[in-house]
Amino acid sequence: MKLNVVEGIKSIKTYVPGKPVGELEREYGISESVKLASNENPCGPSPLAVKAVQDELSRMNRYPDGSACELTGRLAGKFNVKPENIVIGNGSDDLISLLAHAFLPPGSEALMPFPSFLMYEISVMSAGALPVKVPLNGFSIDLSTLADHITDKTAMVFLTNPNNPTGSWFSIEEFNEFIKKLPDHVLVIADEAYIEFAGDTKIFNSLARPLSDKRVISLRTFSKAYGLAGLRIGYGVMAPEIADILHRIRQPFNVNALAQTAAAAALEDEGHLEKSLEIIHKGVDFLQKELTAMGLETYPTQANFFLVDVKTDAAQVFKALLEQGVIVRAMGSYGFNTCLRVNAGLETENLRFIAALKKVLA
């Protein structure tokens, strides 16, 4: 029998996530490994979120609240918008996919910086549309180059701020210039998965501007600063007309009950967020200083991770680090053959990484 696969899907390359720690440890015969590869919060989830999940567990025979009413209300309050402006997703990956399926007619184009988040391309192709990858200018997203690539076919532009995997960022002025050149029919997805880490006050923060421009959709996640990556929950803030379309096509129970209750609790625990940010900022500073002292080049970041140029084949360094029980990300598939992406861990984890890297590069 011949499988009739929907146009475009066969050219999608399967996303290869970092291996789970347990599997790597078995494969390499190591233990107590350190994972600085997926930009997670090393401080763990908020204890309030853990407690909320424990309290919710005995109700898991029930379907979750399909409209995530409580969390939606809290987010609306936090950002001073209406509940109608918010859509919760099974991770922001879910929202990226919903947006692509709802707003990319077959044959239309979606612009995205490259390298950037791999899920954009996968979602765009699975919607039957065409990803147009616009190279970074060095390590940063160049909004004026992106604007130059807009055509009549462009239906959507993905912007990642700060960008993954480079940690680079763009300012509110750059964004405003970009918006001026944007045709009326183009949607802008501002993916701000790492915005909580950003310290530069000039950085473009889509939720700090008035929500009057319907073309701008903000995506946020509980996976990074809020430490809930394993539960899968993210959200989008957008015009009610856009939200209404996403609600029509999303799964009615796309966000599970544990994730909803954990996210609502995590949002209230500002102390845990602040403490996490402090530890992570210290971690980034420490790592960058140590690496610079080793004669390596690190790149500026507003996120909880950064690129370091190890000045030799990073894939080999990555493997040698694995054997030392330290997991980071090699950037060859992103076109940076001599770079590793490392996120800040706890102090002990950062020390382990530096010691292992010194050994590997010696």
Ligand X SMILES: *Cc1c(COP(=O)(O)O)cnc(C)c1O
Instruction: Return the residue of 33, 72, 154, 221 that touches ligand X, per CB under 6 A.
Output: 221
Residue labelled with tokens 């993905």: 158
Q: Which stretch binds ligand X (CB under 6 A): 67-75, 89-97, 176-184, 317-325?
A: 89-97
Q: Which of 41, 13, 15, 23 is nearest to 231 (CA)?
A: 41
Residue 161 binds ligand X (CB under 6 A) = no
Residue 191 CB, nearest approach to ligand X (Å): 5
* Residue length of the chain: 362
Residue 24 binds ligand X (CB under 6 A) = no
251-282: b (≥16 Cβ within 10 Å) or e:
eeebbbbbbbbbbbbbbebeebbeebbebbee
Residue 108 CB, nearest approach to ligand X (Å): 22
The pairing of beta strand 154-160 with beta strand 109-114? parallel
- CA–CA distance from 132 to each of 108, 115, 135, 190 (Å)? 10, 12, 10, 17
Residue 343 binds ligand X (CB under 6 A) = no
Residue 98 CB, nearest approach to ligand X (Å): 12
- CA–CA distance from 153 to each of 180, 181, 283, 285 (Å)? 18, 15, 44, 43
Site for ligand X in 98-127 (CB under 6 A): 117
Instruction: Return the residue of 33, 160, 301, 324 that touches ligand X, per CB under 6 A.
Output: 160
**# binding residues, ligand X (CB under 6 A):** 13
Residue 266 binds ligand X (CB under 6 A) = no
Q: CB neighbours (10 Å) of residue 154?
A: 20
- The binding track of 188-207 with respect to ligand X, each residue x by CB under 6 A or -, is ---x-x--------------
Residue 224 CB, nearest approach to ligand X (Å): 6
Give the span between the Cα atoms of 274 and 265, in whole angstroms.
15
- The binding track of 225-264 with respect to ligand X, each residue x by CB under 6 A or -, is ----x----x------------------------------
Residue 313 CB, nearest approach to ligand X (Å): 25
State the DSSP code for 362: -
Backbone angles phi and psi of 316, in degrees to 5: -70, -40
Q: Which stretch binds ligand X (CB under 6 A): 88-96, 169-177, 273-281, 323-331?
A: 88-96
Q: Which stretch binds ligand X (CB under 6 A): 85-93, 205-213, 309-317, 321-329?
A: 85-93
Cβ closest to ligand X, residue 154 vs residue 221 = 221
Residue 101 CB, nearest approach to ligand X (Å): 16
Residue 64 binds ligand X (CB under 6 A) = no
Give the span between the Cα atoms of 90 and 33, in whole angstroms.
28
Q: Which of 106, 115, 117 is nearest to 38 (CA)?
A: 117
Residue 92 binds ligand X (CB under 6 A) = yes
Give the span between the Cα atoms of 7 and 5, in whole angstroms.
6
In the complex, the residues that contact ligand X under the rule CB under 6 A are: 91-93, 117, 160, 164, 191, 193, 221, 223-224, 229, 234
